[in-house]
Structure 1
């Protein structure tokens, strides 16, 4: 299981005083108000940063990091993910899962036959859609609804699905 979970991605700088514009990848962008520390994934290292201030603008979060006070100091953070330790993550409700824990899960049908591997989760307006790399059907899109997703076992890394008519071509 991933110990650090992504909550946003820096899209660009904001102004000249060291603020960055963040696209939230969490269900609750308001959670940034409660965050004090965060990790910035530069690709080479996970840089611990302290959050000094948070504002909201449209669908973005404007974040100011302590000790980084100029545009030049934060310019290099573009496209870098922002991560929080699992213990600082928002608690999950019943039938909710962290996407990071689901990627790579083995998917099987209700009759126990291997179907494929979960390779991505698309977040849409109505419900998420699971992108499954199927053994015999290629890429299959399965809506994350109770009628299709019968069981998710994060500990075992397994998901059981019901394939409704039309989801796969026979």
Structure 2
């Protein structure tokens, strides 16, 4: 079952004296976090209204309603920020990393099961999925030539492996 609230970053410190906080984003780009009207603390238990959000280098500077002083903002340091899944519209072929972790990877042609995705690494050119099957671990590139279909509802990814990917001989 997919989680309603998704981890999206951590409040690392304050910014200035007017209650702004610096958020280290856990998403593809810091810009992603600037479009939300609400963020959440404590796995969705506490809803906060975002008054302003902007990117500064690789950090998001965020002003949250009710946090108007540095003393008040410092109480947020170290907190994980969450977003609601219902506030996000993903483009076709885009997925939340946490929805990919644990799904089965099978060969589109043979039906052979290679294992489950245990990690997603961002390499710059394309993501790389770590597939684990018992003690064996494989890395597959997340490119259209390999990934045929991803069904996060059924928790299955169908792939067409590159030659030698699973059998290096």
Separation in 1, partners of 2:106, 2:48: 41
Q: CA RMSD in A?
A: 2.3
Q: TM-score, normalised by structure 1?
A: 0.82
Residues 140-168 of structure 1, C-alpha deviations (whole Å, 9 max, x = no match): 21110012212211111001223323434
Which runs of no fewer than 5 residues in structure 1 stay unpaired?
A: none
**Corresponding residue for 2:101?**
103
Residues 12-52 of structure 1, C-alpha deviations (whole Å, 9 max, x = no match): 222333221112233453344432211023x7x73211112
Q: Shift of the alpha carbon at 1:134?
A: 2.2
Residues 34-84 of structure 1, C-alpha deviations (whole Å, 9 max, x = no match): 32211023x7x7321111222321121100111123334333434433222
Separation in 2, partners of 1:113, 1:159: 12
Separation in 2, partners of 1:34, 1:163: 37
- Kept in 1, the 8 Å contact 2:34–2:60? The answer is no
How many equivalent pairs are there?
Answer: 166
Q: Secondary structure at the match of 1:164?
A: coil
Separation in 1, partners of 2:122, 2:68: 34
Separation in 1, partners of 2:64, 2:135: 48
- Kept in 2, the 8 Å contact 1:13–1:20? The answer is yes
Q: TM-score, normalised by structure 2?
A: 0.83
Separation in 1, partners of 2:71, 2:138: 44
Decide whether aligned partners of structure 1 residues 120 and 80 sit closer, same or farther in structure 2, where only a CA change above 3 A counts. farther
Alignment of 1:80-91 (within 5 A): 80-89=79-88, 91=89
Separation in 1, partners of 2:16, 2:61: 10
**Corresponding residue for 2:9?**
8
**Corresponding residue for 1:74?**
73
- Kept in 2, the 8 Å contact 1:6–1:26? The answer is no
**Corresponding residue for 2:146?**
148
Decide whether aligned partners of structure 1 residues 133 and 71 sit closer, same or farther in structure 2, where only a CA change above 3 A counts. farther
Residues 109-161 of structure 1, C-alpha deviations (whole Å, 9 max, x = no match): 23112211111211221111111112352x22111001221221111100122
- Kept in 2, the 8 Å contact 1:20–1:74? The answer is yes
